[in-house]
Amino acid sequence: MDDKILLAAIRKLDADALTAVFEQYAPLVFKYSLRLCRDPQEADDVVGEVFSRLLDALTQGKGPQKNLRSYLYQTAYHIIIDDTRDRTHYTPLDGHFNQPASEDLPPEQAEERRQFLLLHKAIHTVLTQDQKHVIVLRFLEGFDLRDTAHILGRDVNNIKVIQNRAVAKLREALLYETRE
Amino acid sequence: MGEEEAQYPLDLLTQQQELFLTKAAAAHAQTAATSAGAAAKGTLLHAALGAILVVEVILGAYFTRELWLPLLIQATPTVEAQVVPQVKTETAIPIDTETPYPAETESATPSTPVLTPLFATESPVAESTPNAPRENPGKHLGQTPGAPNAPGQDEDKGNNKDNNNKDKKP
Q: Give the minimum alpha-carbon distance from B34 to chain A in angstroms, rounded to a whole number.
A: 11
Least confident of A143-147, B45-49, B114-118, B133-137: B133-137
Instruction: Tell me the C-alpha distance between B159 and B139, whole Å.
Output: 10
- What's the average pLDDT block by block, 10 residues per block, for chain A (180 residues)? 82 91 94 88 93 93 89 93 62 45 70 79 84 90 91 92 92 74
Instruction: Tell me the C-alpha distance between A6 and A69, whole Å.
Output: 11
User: Any CB–CB contact under 8 A between A111 and chain B?
Assistant: no
Q: Contact B139/B145 with Cβ under 8 angstroms?
A: yes
Which of B4, B7, B15 is the mutation pick for testing A, counting most A CBs within 10 A? B7
Q: Which amino acid is at A150?
A: H
B162/A49: higher pLDDT: A49
Give residue A95's pLDDT: 42
pLDDT tens for B69-127 read 888 888 887 766 666 666 666 666 677 677 666 655 555 455 555 555 555 555 554 44
C-alpha pair distances (Å), A102 with each of A29, A50, A92, A109, B127: 26, 33, 13, 8, 183
Instruction: Answer whether 0.80 is exceeded by the pTM.
Output: no
Enumerate the H helices of chain A as residue ranges.
Answer: 3-11, 15-37, 40-59, 68-83, 107-126, 129-135, 145-152, 156-179
Give residue B105's pLDDT: 54
Give residue A124's pLDDT: 80
Q: B10: nearest CA in chain A?
A: A27
Give residue A2's pLDDT: 73
By residue count, chain B amounts to 170
Q: Give the minimum alpha-carbon distance from B41 to chain A in angstroms, rounded to a whole number.
A: 19
Helix axes A145-152, A68-83, angle to 10 degrees: 40
Give residue A92's pLDDT: 46
Find, among A165, A107, A156, A104, the residue nearest to A135 by Cα: A165
C-alpha pair distances (Å), A103 with each of A50, A92, A116, A120: 36, 16, 15, 19
Residue B160 CB: number of other CB atoms within 10 A? 12
B2 and A112 within 8 Å at the Cβ level: the answer is: yes
Residues of B in contact with A13 (CB under 8 A): 24, 27-28, 31
Residue B44 CB: number of other CB atoms within 10 A? 10
User: Any CB–CB contact under 8 A between A62 and chain B?
Assistant: no
Instruction: Tell me the C-alpha distance between A141 and A32, whole Å.
Output: 7
Q: B17: nearest CA in chain A?
A: A22
B21 and A113 within 8 Å at the Cβ level: the answer is: no
Residues of B in contact with A63 (CB under 8 A): none
Residues of A in contact with B27 (CB under 8 A): 13, 55, 58-59
Q: Which residues contact A169 (CB under 8 A, 6 or more apart)?
A: A122, A126, A127, A131
Least confident of A100-114, B48-62, B131-145: B131-145
What is the 3-state composition of chain B as percent helix, strand, coil, each rounded to the nearest 5?
50, 0, 50
User: Any CB–CB contact under 8 A between A98 and chain B?
Assistant: yes
Give residue B20's pLDDT: 93
Q: Contact A172/A127 with Cβ under 8 angstroms?
A: no
ω into residue B85 within 30 of 0, thus cis? no
Q: Which residues contact A165 (CB under 8 A, 6 or more apart)?
A: A131
C-alpha pair distances (Å), A71 with each of A3, A146, B6: 12, 13, 21
Please report the ipTM that was assigned to this predicted complex. 0.73
B2 and A13 within 8 Å at the Cβ level: the answer is: no
B6 and A35 within 8 Å at the Cβ level: the answer is: yes
Q: Contact B2/A140 with Cβ under 8 angstroms?
A: no
